[in-house]
Every structure is written in structure tokens, then in C-alpha cells.
Amino acid sequence: MKVTWGAYGGQAAVIRLGLPPKVLDTDALSETEAVELDRLVAAVAPAAGEERPGRARDAMSYTITVEDGGRSTTLTRSDATMSPAFAALFGWLEEHFARQ
């Protein structure tokens, strides 16, 4: 499974402008990390098509694309529309990339 993570907008938009999204291949993870990431992705997947209304001034937008077995799912949320499951996945990815 390959996961691509990007953050856009907000007050730091100029700083992030032009930065490529971060990519994570589960083959590079330990078995424990890969299982946890798979669990987090599975928790978000049922709500993939649900968009909750809401706007917030200077809100960040986040895109997580999951490619697995020839299928690709893109999840996009903002600070104002983030579900708890998306927040958990986002937080895990953010923490993982901060360690690199």
C-alpha cells in the first residue's frame, strides 16, 4: 500500500507552496506500523464519500491518497470538516513524517 499525504492552505500557505506531497510505502514500515496504518485507513474508508459542510477562515486542507491493490482512494478534508477517523490517520502520518 502507498499513502500520499499533503497539507495546503491556511496561514502558512506561502511556506508550503510548491512543496511536494509526502509519500509512504508500507513496505518500508515495520510490521507493527504497517498493521496500524492499515487499521487507520480502514476506519476512514467507509466515510470516504461523505463531505461535511463547513468553512473556516484560513483553514488548512489535507489530502490523503491511498493506493492499494490497483485501487486509489483520495480523501480530502479541512480543519472544519475532519472526522475523528480522518484526524487519527492524519495524526499518525504527521507523526511518522516528523520522525524522518
Measure the CA–CA gap between 63 and 45, rounded to whole angstroms: 13
Concatenating the DSSP letter of every residue in 57-82 gives TT-EEEEEEEEETTEEEEEEEETTT-
Per-residue pLDDT of the chain (100 residues; tens, 9 = 90+): 999 988 776 544 444 456 678 899 999 999 999 999 999 999 987 655 544 445 555 677 888 999 998 999 888 888 888 889 999 999 999 899 888 7
Angle between helices 31-44 and 84-99 (to 10 degrees): 150
* pLDDT number for residue 80: 83
Q: Kindly report whether the global pTM for this prediction surpasses the value 0.85.
A: no
